[in-house]
């Protein structure tokens, strides 16, 4: 199986079926960050059918590192499991099928080097609040789609300012951007 071709085929399928996967530019940027930060343990919130996860896992595989990913949709979860097997990265992944609001608190504290939050935009601040204790010091935390869904994310900005969390917004796509926090 040629993984590059598999990812291209998946991208085509998702475009035809409007699955809300991260863009190619975003995937490339996040993969670079994984490599620069030498990420060992990554957490993804919002798996969908795992376009993002497969891109991440291919990098993590080089060093036998690990990805934990959570999605509450059985359809997405099952599609993702199948795609992981085809891409032969299933041994690197713990896929959790449940509501992340319930599952994040059960994860180990001070453990993840990289957390990618890509789900219910309106409640981003709640997910961030749950994720912060799970991140190691100097971990990278990314929240996706902060420009496209700016209006839905005003509570996130309020949370960041109230708690004096330092962040940067990077407009990496023509119409969208990500929010990056380095946990101190």
DSSP for residue 130: H
Question: Is there binding between residue 100 and ligand SAM (CB under 6 A)?
Answer: yes
Cα–Cα distance between 117 and 44 in angstroms, integer?
6
174: tokens are: 């023509």
String marking each residue 111-130 x if it binds ligand SAM according to CB under 6 A: -------xxx----------
Give me the helix-helix angle, 51-61 and 3-17, nearest 10°.
160
Do residues 142 and 115 touch, judged by C-beta distance below 8 A? yes
Number of residues near ligand SAM (by CB under 6 A): 20
Minimum distance, C-beta of residue 65 to ligand SAM, in the bound complex (Å): 18
Minimum distance, C-beta of residue 184 to ligand SAM, in the bound complex (Å): 26
Helices (H), 132-175: 154-162
Site for ligand SAM in 139-158 (CB under 6 A): none
- Nearer to ligand SAM among residue 50 and residue 65 (C-beta): 50
**Of 32-40, 95-103, 149-157, 167-175, which segment contacts ligand SAM by CB under 6 A?**
95-103
Cα–Cα distance between 9 and 182 in angstroms, integer?
34
Site for ligand SAM in 17-76 (CB under 6 A): 20-22, 46-48, 50-52, 70-73, 76
- Nearer to ligand SAM among residue 10 and residue 164 (C-beta): 10
Minimum distance, C-beta of residue 51 to ligand SAM, in the bound complex (Å): 4
Nearest CA-CA partner of 53 in 99, 15, 22? 22
- Nearer to ligand SAM among residue 50 and residue 114 (C-beta): 50
Q: Which residues pair with 169 in a beta bridge?
A: 179
Cα–Cα distance between 92 and 111 in angstroms, integer?
16
Binding residues for ligand SAM, rule: CB under 6 A, are: 20-22, 46-48, 50-52, 70-73, 76, 99-101, 118-120
């Amino acid at each position: 199986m040629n993984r590059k071709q598999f990812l291209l085929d998946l991208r085509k399928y998702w475009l035809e079926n409007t699955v809300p996967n991260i863009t190619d530019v975003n995937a490339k940027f996040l993969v670079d960050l994984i490599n620069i930060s030498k990420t060992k343990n990554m957490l993804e919130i919002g798996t969908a059918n795992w376009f993002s996860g497969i891109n991440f896992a291919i990098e993590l595989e080089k060093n036998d590192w690990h990805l934990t990913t959570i999605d509450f949709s059985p359809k997405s979860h099952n599609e993702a499991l199948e795609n992981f097997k085809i891409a032969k990265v299933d041994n690197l992944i713990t896929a959790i099928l449940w509501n992340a609001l319930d599952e994040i608190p059960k994860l180990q504290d001070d453990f993840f080097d990289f957390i990618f939050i890509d789900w219910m935009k309106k409640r981003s601040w709640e997910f961030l609040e749950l994720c912060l204790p799970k991140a190691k010091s100097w971990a990278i935390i990314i929240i996706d789609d902060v420009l496209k869904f700016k209006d839905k994310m005003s509570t996130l900005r309020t949370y960041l300012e109230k708690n004096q969390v330092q962040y940067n917004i990077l407009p990496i796509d023509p119409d969208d951007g990500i929010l990056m926090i380095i946990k101190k």
